[in-house]
Amino acid sequence: MFSKSGYNDNLKELIKAKKADKSIVKIIKDNLEIQSNAKSIIKKNEKEIKELAKNNEKNETIKTQTSLKNLKEYISIRKEIKDIKKQIKKMSGEVKTNNKKIESAEIQNSELEKEIENQYKIYQENEVYAKAFEKIDKNIVKLPEEFYASYTKHMELYNNSIYSVEKNSTLPEPNAEDFLGILNALKESEEKQKRKSSTSKKTTTKAQTKKTTTKKVAKKNEENK
C-alpha cells in the first residue's frame, strides 16, 4: 500500500538507489488525491440525496392531501417535487461518475504497485548479479570471454537505466542463464577458496608442530649434557 505522499518501502528504496524517478510518485499521489476528493463528493451527495428524498416524501404526502380546487398550491408542490427529483438525479449521476474515478484510480495504482514490486525484484537480482561477480576469485575460477562480454554489456545497460513512467523506461532483467551461471561460479570459487585455505592452514599447523617438536628435542639434549 502507498502512503499519502505516494510512496511505499520498495519505491523509496528504488528512488534512493537512483533506479526509479519521482514521475511514478506523482501519478500515485494524483490517484490518491482523486480517490480522496471523489469520496468526499460522494459522501456529501449521498447525505444531500437522503435529505432531498425525505423532503420529497413529505411533498408527495402533501400533494395527495391537496385538493385540485387549490390549483396554485397543487402546481407549486408538483413543481417542487419535480425540481427535487432533478437534483437527486444530478447528484446520483455525480456519485456514479466519482465512483468510476475511484475505481480507475485504484486500478492504476494497483497496477503500479505490481510493477514496482516487479522492478524492485529486478533491481535486487541485478545487485546480487553484480556483487556475485565481484566476489568471484578470477584466479581460481576461469570464466569464458563471452560471459565477460555478456556481463559487461548487461551491467552497462543496467547502470544507465531507470524505472520511469515519464521516460517510459524500466530496468533490464539479467539473463536467467547468465544469472544462474554467475551464482554457480561464485559457489565454485568459494568452495575452492575454502579448500585452499584449509590446505594452507594444515600446512602451517604441521610446520608449527614440527618446529615445536624440534625445539623440545633440542632442549632435552641440552639438559642431558
Q: Given a cut of 90, is residue 71 above it in pLDDT?
A: no
For 126, which DSSP code?
H
Give 153-193 pLDDT, tens digit per residue.
999 999 999 999 999 999 999 988 888 888 888 888 888 87
| Of 24-33, 75-84, 128-137, minimum mean pLDDT range | 75-84
pLDDT of res. 213:
54
pLDDT of res. 56:
80
Predicted TM-score (pTM) above 0.85: no
**Alpha helices (H) in the chain, listed in sequence order:** 9-16, 23-65, 71-135, 145-159, 176-224
* CA geometry: angle 190, 195, 196, nearest 5 deg: 95
Interatomic CA distance for residues 114 and 9, integer angstroms: 13
For residues 65-87, average pLDDT: 78
